[in-house]
Chains A and B, each alone.
Chain A
Amino acid sequence: MSPSPATADSVVPLEFDHVSFGYNGQIVIRDVSLQVRQGTFVAMVGANGSGKSTLVRLALGLLRPSQGRVRLFDTDTAAFRQWWRVGYVPQRAAADSTLPISVDEVVRTGLAGQLHPGRRATRHHRQRIEHVLEVMGLTGLRRRRIDELSGGQQQRALIARALVTEPSLLILDEPTTGVDADARAVLRDSLEHLVAVENVAVVYVSHDPQTFAGLATCVVELRAGTLHILGPPAHVAGSA
């Protein structure tokens, strides 16, 4: 399955090639094949327990498939090293922090995989931090503790963290859970810009089709670990 037409020389940011995966002998993902190309927005829906989070973890190399291959930028995840090309936005619950941590510090943790230990951020990195803070509307909040912000502001900080390395692939796992309407609008605008202007490939996992209606290039649904292409988002929103 390919959400967008392939070109002969294009690198595919994310590809599932006949992937199956199971826990303790129970199959969770069954023979999933999917290509996510540059500049496309793939929305993934499915009921709780359908395997969405497992598919995300496979894409991030946190799990290895039992069968088939997961490739990032044409490289098997086991051999992939350029993790800065992949941005990951977890649910807002990931912003829960025992100790005080400022928005600025949260965004800077996004550079941890790209910068070797002991290395200082370069001027380019600092400019990038300023840029993502500005794009996400967080410049005035950068010194604030993240746990003092609203749900939407916290989510924007997590998105800024994912964008700080200028990823070509952005994976968002239920990014609007517990987020207010204003913040959803900001998120929509940001994603639209990333796909249309910066040619980023987006994988957006959500149980709520309204959150990506009008944005998605393709909508896929996981049912008991099997992938089905549902078509344009309007169709999904109508059938929800």
Chain B
Amino acid sequence: MEALEFGFMQRALLASTIIAAVAPLVGSFIVQRRQALIGEGMGHVAFAGVGLAFLTGLDPLLGALALTLLAAVALVRLSRGSAGGDVSLALVFYGGLAAGYLFSARGGGGQNQILSLLFGSPLNLTWGQVATVAALATAVALALAFLYRQLVALAFDEAAARASGVPTTGLVMALTVLVALVVVAGMSTIGLLLISAMMVIPVATAAHIATSYRATLWLSSAIGAVSAAAGTLVSYHANVPTGSAIVLTALALYIGAAVTHAAARYLARRRHVRPGRPVDLVPDD
């Protein structure tokens, strides 16, 4: 394949595939907890971190990492304190967006540079940046494997998990930090505003097919990786932005799975309901 002969394409493919494979693993837990938009908000905060880095001369990745980790702690404390979950999300995220634009404007961040962070520019990655993405993604995957049982309990029923002795507040904090790490790892490849889509869309796609939580995790990870690889190649051949191509590929897979699932259910119902045959509205034990 011609595209793979170029170093920039190899780096783009590798980095986007790695992060798009790990993002749904974290996403599975936030979707189950009905916090699908938390990644989007973290992207806003990371934007503030990047703006702060422009202002102070720091590495944008370090600025984004510092501020998102701070936001993760603040978010959990706020949501468990006087402010409700929705309000605390809004406070942290709108603050992040406003501060990000302010810092960037004052720090002299060029419009192209800001846009590339918001929507991704994997074709400009160095091997060092690819290694950073891989290291962050590996750390996230290992943390998820370590906390897997407790995270499933938390995501399925927080009250029961807490009653059975699971330290839920600490676990929610850990999960929010993992979301922050995925956002930071994905900012240069898929973009701060689009990486959260890869935490949600592949999970929603897998949920149409899988029959268990574990299968949903593995399948969503595979869907994320395939979307990233296909989207990156499409962006090369069609000359379109890579982050957008990756997310739209994932969306196309979701639509395909949803339509197939709906058709299968329709056919199954038709097979069971025949004229003149009584229908059990309430299934028996």
Nearest-CB distance from B159 to chain A (Å)? 7
Binds B, one of A41-49, A79-87, A200-208: A79-87
Give Cα A133 to B203, complex, Å: 28
Once the chains bind, are B153 and A88 in contact (CB under 8 Å)?
no
Map CB proximity to A onto B254-282 as digits: 1 under 8 Å, 0 otherwise. 00000000000000000000000000001
A165 at the interface (CB under 8 A from B): yes
Once the chains bind, are B212 and A180 in contact (CB under 8 Å)?
no
Map CB proximity to B onto A162-175 as digits: 1 under 8 Å, 0 otherwise. 10010000000000
Contact among B32, B165, B212, B284 for A143, CB-based, below 8 A: B212
Which of A60, A158, A165 counts the most chain B CB atoms within 10 A?
A: A60
Closest Cβ neighbor of B203 among chain A residues: A99
Once the chains bind, are A117 and B146 in contact (CB under 8 Å)?
yes
Which of A101, A106, A180 counts the most chain B CB atoms within 10 A?
A: A101
B207 to chain A: which residues have CB within 8 Å?
Answer: 98-100
A150 at the interface (CB under 8 A from B): yes
The secondary structure that dominates the A interface is loop
Closest Cβ neighbor of B154 among chain A residues: A112
Binds A, one of B6-14, B58-66, B213-221, B225-233: B213-221
Give Cα A158 to B161, complex, Å: 12
Closest Cβ neighbor of A156 among chain B residues: B285
B154 to chain A: which residues have CB within 8 Å?
Answer: 112
Once the chains bind, are A106 and B212 in contact (CB under 8 Å)?
no
A98 to chain B: which residues have CB within 8 Å?
Answer: 31-32, 34, 207
Give Cα A124 to B164, complex, Å: 18
Give Cα A105 to B145, complex, Å: 15
A94 to chain B: which residues have CB within 8 Å?
Answer: 157, 159-160
**Chain B: how many interface residues by the 8 Å CB criterion?**
35
Q: Which of A30-52 contact B (CB under 8 A)?
A: none
Nearest-CB distance from A175 to chain B (Å)? 13
Closest Cβ neighbor of A121 among chain B residues: B149
Q: Which of B150-174 contact A (CB under 8 A)?
A: 150, 152-154, 156-157, 159-166
Once the chains bind, are B161 and A62 in contact (CB under 8 Å)?
no
B165 to chain A: which residues have CB within 8 Å?
Answer: 81-84, 113-114
Closest Cβ neighbor of A119 among chain B residues: B149
The secondary structure that dominates the B interface is helix
Q: Which of B200-218 contact A (CB under 8 A)?
A: 203, 207, 210-216
Once the chains bind, are B213 and A105 in contact (CB under 8 Å)?
yes
Contact among B149, B152, B157, B163 for A83, CB-based, below 8 A: B163
Contact among B31, B34, B282 for A180, CB-based, below 8 A: B282
B147 at the interface (CB under 8 A from A): yes
Once the chains bind, are B282 and A150 in contact (CB under 8 Å)?
yes
Give Cα A117 to B285, complex, Å: 35
Contact among B31, B153, B161, B284 for A99, CB-based, below 8 A: B31
Give Cα A33 to B25, complex, Å: 47
Nearest-CB distance from B165 to chain A (Å)? 3
B interface with A by C-beta (< 8 Å): 28, 31-32, 34, 145-147, 149-150, 152-154, 156-157, 159-166, 203, 207, 210-216, 282-285
A interface with B by C-beta (< 8 Å): 60-62, 81-84, 86, 88, 90, 94, 97-102, 104-106, 108-115, 117-118, 143-145, 150, 152-153, 158, 161-162, 165, 180, 182-183, 186
CB<8 Å pairs between A and B, sample of 15:
A83-B165, A86-B163, A94-B157, A94-B159, A99-B32, A99-B216, A105-B212, A105-B214, A109-B160, A109-B161, A112-B152, A113-B164, A118-B145, A153-B285, A180-B282
The 10 closest A-B pairs by CB, nearest first: A83-B165, A113-B165, A112-B153, A113-B164, A109-B153, A60-B163, A102-B212, A88-B163, A101-B213, A118-B146
